[in-house]
Amino acid sequence: MEEWERWERRVQTAAHPFAYRLLSAAAARGPAVRVPRVGVVVSDARLAREVLLDTEGYTKTGPGAAAGLWTPVLGQRVLINMEGAEHAALRRRLAGLFTPGHVAAVCERVLRAPLDDLVRRLAAGGEVDLVRVVRDGATDVIRELVGLPDAGADFAEASAVLSSVRLWRTSLTGRQAARARAALARLSDAAVTAYRAGDESTVPGRLRALGLDEGEARGAVGVLLLTGTETLVSFVPRLVALVHDSGRGPDRITDALIEEALRVTSPTPVMLRSAARPGRLGGVRVAAGERVVIATLLCTRAYGPFAPRVRPGADRGPDPGPGPADLRRLWFGAGPHFCLGMPLAMAEIRAVAGALRAFPELRVVDRRPARGVLVPAYARLSLRAVQAGRLITRPAPPLRRPRRPV
């Protein structure tokens, strides 16, 4: 087993020690396997895409699906737990807030100062925890989009509640849901102000124009806060760790390498659906109301180890060779529920990667996988710059978190 594989296994087992081994064992038995107390586990990309595209046969709103976890906390109409024409209409109207040009401009405005500070500290010989840098930056970008002030403690509380979700549970407990609702309500108080102002450059203002009420606007903001930060905090440090563990430097991070890292890490390792009608999936009989667990991580890793390919002489840009048709960014979903925030995620990833390219070699000097979290991640990934084969160890200035733009 290679170094990157050992660390990725540690990240997965620290987050879900039982579920990761359970899903891996199920995948070894076949592309679709019924697991007691869990559901029908799918570990084949073709079958996974079949489920995701068939929204009438497999829904997010049935028993055991994603809505059972999110609706008690976020409300009924927040994209993540909607289906059909209503979902399509809301998604279409929100799409303007997530165009590549718009999100790139937001990231440039919000992340320029903190990333300049990251480069300054590394160049001065400082040790930098990339997890903290990415978390602060991703949270600030989301706050900029939704018009929220700094409220880190409440965000951490809500995130901690949702991290207690386990694969065999079909919903949060009443106490967990109440705690998450209270934390998100405190976080999104400012969203109501933006909603009432009607500024359509923010998510709450756009939702008001679409006819959603204040409660629904709060729920949408909660989705962005939780899903728009945790997946970035999961992926970017793991991307840099993959580069380090495979003997590459940050200057080798191209779009092709980013896509390959997304494939082998799959920051959304599991997707949940509920069978709306009886049928068969990969030879397994599925009953109406039965939960289907798409093991995205196992679907994508089945195509081999981490092995990015780049066009000869290319500095940036995707690999021109076509990948397997069943993959096609499966880690972002497929069909009507393909991740609306994908352009935002890619803009943030490229921004951090672009800052780190200033250092042809970075050393991971300390790392610790996060334990008991919903999205597998590092709790800490500390970096130092290397020059002429030696670590830069001059005392560095203290970390400054620049003030958010007004």
Which tops the pLDDT comparison, 48 or 322? 48
pLDDT of residue 308: 85
pLDDT of residue 395: 47
pLDDT at 258 over 50: yes
What is the rounded average pLDDT of the residues 214-241? 83
pLDDT in tens, 379-395: 999 999 987 455 555 44
3-state secondary structure the chain: CCHHHHHHHHHHHHHCHHHHHHHHHHHHHCCEEEECCCEEEECCHHHHHHHHHCCCCEECCCCCCHHHHHHHHHCCCCCCCCCHHHHHHHHHHHHHHHCHHHHHHHHHHHHHHHHHHHHHHHHCCCCEEHHHHHHHHHHHHHHHHHCCCCCHHHHHHHHHHHCCCCCCCCCCCHHHHHHHHHHHHHHCHHHHHHHHHCCCCCHHHHHHHCCCCHHHHHHHHHHHHHHHHHHHHHHHHHHHHHHHHCCCCHHHCCHHHHHHHHHHHCCCCCEEEEECCCEEECCEEECCCCEEEECHHHHHHCCCCCCCCCCCCCCCCCCCCCCCCCCCCHHHCCHHHCCCCHHHHHHHHHHHHHHHCCCCCEEEEEEEECCCCCCCCEEEEEEEEEECCEECCCCCCCCCCCCCCC
pLDDT at 403 over 50: no
Confidence of residue 222 (pLDDT cuts 50, 70, 90): confident
pLDDT at 203 over 60: yes
pLDDT of residue 83: 82
Highest mean pLDDT among 130-144, 193-207, 303-317: 130-144
What is the rounded average pLDDT of the residues 108-134? 95
pLDDT at 225 over 50: yes
Tokens of 72: 């008690």
Confidence of residue 300 (pLDDT cuts 50, 70, 90): very high
Which tops the pLDDT comparison, 341 or 216? 341
Domain ranges of the chain: 3-315+331-391
- Give me the chain's average pLDDT, please: 83
pLDDT in tens, 137-175: 998 898 888 776 665 545 566 566 566 666 666 667 777
pLDDT of residue 94: 78
pLDDT at 123 over 50: yes
pLDDT at 57 over 90: yes
Q: With pLDDT > 90 as the criterion, what percentage of the chain qualifies?
A: 50
Q: How far is CA 124 from the centre of its chain?
A: 31
Confidence of residue 201 (pLDDT cuts 50, 70, 90): confident
C-beta separation of 96 from 102 below 8 A:
yes
> Does 1.10.630.10 match the CATH number of domain 3-315+331-391?
yes
pLDDT at 404 over 50: no
